[in-house]
C-alpha cells in the first residue's frame, strides 16, 4: 500500500479514531503489571515461536513422504497415508493433543523399559507431547496439500529427466520437489499462520507459552481485557511477520 492510498480522508479519520482508542486503552486500563511479567512473557513468546518453527519444519518433512505416497505410492502406502490425513483433518486438534498427553502420558509409566530409558526425563514433561501433536497435525494438513502439488508437476519434465538417465532420487531432488514446493508456497504461508493459531492449545497441557502467560496474568491480577488485547496484538504481529517472510520467499523464487 502506498502512502497516497493511506492518506485518503476516511482512512485518516479511521486512524485518528484508532489512535484515540489506543490512548484510551493506555490511560484507563491497568498496565502496571507489565514490568513484573515482562520476563515471563518474553520467555513465553520465545517458546511459542520455537514450537511454531520446530513443528512446521518437522511437519513439512513428514508431509513430503505422505504426499508422495498418496500421489504415486502403491496402494499399501497410499491407503495408510490417506487414512492418516483424513483422521488428522477430521478430528479437533485439542482432542489429539489431549489424547497424546493424557493417553500416552498415562500409558508410559506402566511400561518398565520406558521408565528405565534415558528418554524418561523428557517424556515426563509436557512439551514433547505438544511438539508431537502439532507436528502430526501440520503433517496431516500439509500432506494433503503436497499430494496435489506432486501430481500437478508437469509430467513432461519428469519424462525428460528420465530419458537423460537421471537417477530417480536426483530427479526427485532436483526437479520434482523444488517445483512442488514452489507451487505450494502460497498455501504454506496460510497453513503456517493456521499453525500459529493452533499453538495456544498446548497451554492446556501445561506448556507455558505466551497464551499461558496471559492466562496467568488474568488470574493473578483479576483483570480480563488487558492481557487478552496485548496477546491478540502479539499474534497479529507474528502473523504479519510470517506473511512478509513468505512473500519474500515467493518473490525470491522465479515464477513461471
Partner 1 sequence: MELLSLSPPGWGGNLLRGLVNSLQIAFGAFGLGLVIGLFGAYGKLYGGVVIRDLLGIYTTVIRAVPELVLILILYYVGTDLINKAAEAMGYGRVEISGVVAGIWVLGIVQGAYSTEVLRGAIQAVPKGQMEAARAYGMPALLVMRRVTIPAMMSFAVPGLANLWLIATKDTALLAIVGFSELTLETKQAAASTRAYFTFFLAAGALYLIVTLLSGVVFGRIEKWARRGQPSLRAGQSR
Stretch near partner 1 under the rule CB under 8 A, chosen from 30-38, 63-71, 74-82, 189-197: 189-197
- Residue from 30, 89, 168, 173 touching partner 1 (CB under 8 A): that is 89
> Distance between CA 143 and CA 81 in Å, rounded?
8
Asked whether position 133 contacts partner 1 by CB under 8 A, the answer is no
Nearer Cβ to partner 1 (156/165): 156
Asked whether position 38 contacts partner 1 by CB under 8 A, the answer is no
Query: Cβ(149)–Cβ(181) under 8 Å?
Result: yes
- Residue from 56, 64, 136, 193 touching partner 1 (CB under 8 A): that is 193
Nearer Cβ to partner 1 (93/139): 93
Asked whether position 179 contacts partner 1 by CB under 8 A, the answer is no
- Residue from 81, 139, 188, 201 touching partner 1 (CB under 8 A): that is 201
Stretch near partner 1 under the rule CB under 8 A, chosen from 30-38, 114-122, 169-177, 196-204: 196-204
Asked whether position 50 contacts partner 1 by CB under 8 A, the answer is no
Asked whether position 206 contacts partner 1 by CB under 8 A, the answer is no
Stretch near partner 1 under the rule CB under 8 A, chosen from 53-61, 99-107, 124-132, 173-181: 99-107
Footprint of partner 1 (CB under 8 A): 8, 10-11, 14, 86-87, 89-96, 98-99, 102-103, 106-107, 152, 154-155, 193, 196-201, 204, 211, 224-225, 228-229, 231-232, 235-236, 239-240
Amino acid at each position: 500500500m502506498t502512502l497516497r492510498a493511506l492518506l485518503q480522508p476516511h482512512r485518516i479519520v479511521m486512524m485518528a479514531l484508532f489512535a484515540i482508542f489506543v490512548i484510551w486503552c493506555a490511560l484507563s486500563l491497568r498496565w502496571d503489571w507489565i514490568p513484573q511479567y515482562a520476563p515471563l512473557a518474553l520467555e513465553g513468546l520465545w517458546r511459542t515461536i520455537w514450537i511454531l518453527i520446530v513443528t512446521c519444519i518437522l511437519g513439512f518433512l513428514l508431509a513430503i513422504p505422505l504426499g508422495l505416497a498418496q500421489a504415486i505410492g502403491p496402494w499399501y502406502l497410499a491407503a495408510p497415508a490417506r487414512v492418516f490425513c483424513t483422521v488428522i483433518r477430521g478430528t479437533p486438534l485439542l482432542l489429539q493433543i489431549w489424547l497424546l498427553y493424557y493417553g500416552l502420558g498415562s500409558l508410559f509409566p506402566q511400561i518398565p523399559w520406558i521408565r528405565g530409558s534415558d528418554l524418561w526425563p523428557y517424556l515426563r514433561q509436557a512439551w514433547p507431547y505438544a511438539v508431537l501433536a502439532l507436528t502430526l497435525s501440520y503433517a496431516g494438513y500439509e500432506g494433503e496439500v503436497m499430494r496435489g502439488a506432486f501430481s500437478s508437476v508437469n509430467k513432461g519434465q519428469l519424462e525428460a529427466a528420465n530419458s537423460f538417465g537421471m537417477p530417480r532420487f536426483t530427479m526427485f531432488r532436483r526437479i520434482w520437489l523444488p517445483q512442488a514446493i514452489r507451487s505450494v508456497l502460497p498455501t504454506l504461508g496460510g497453513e503456517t499462520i493456521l499453525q500459529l493459531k493452533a499453538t495456544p492449545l498446548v497451554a492446556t497441557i501445561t506448556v507455558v507459552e505466551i497464551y499461558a502467560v496471559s492466562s496467568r496474568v488474568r488470574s493473578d491480577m483479576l483483570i480480563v481485557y488487558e492481557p487478552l488485547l496485548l496477546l491478540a496484538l502479539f499474534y497479529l504481529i507474528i502473523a504479519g511477520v510470517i506473511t512478509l517472510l513468505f512473500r519474500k520467499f515467493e518473490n525470491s523464487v522465479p515464477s513461471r
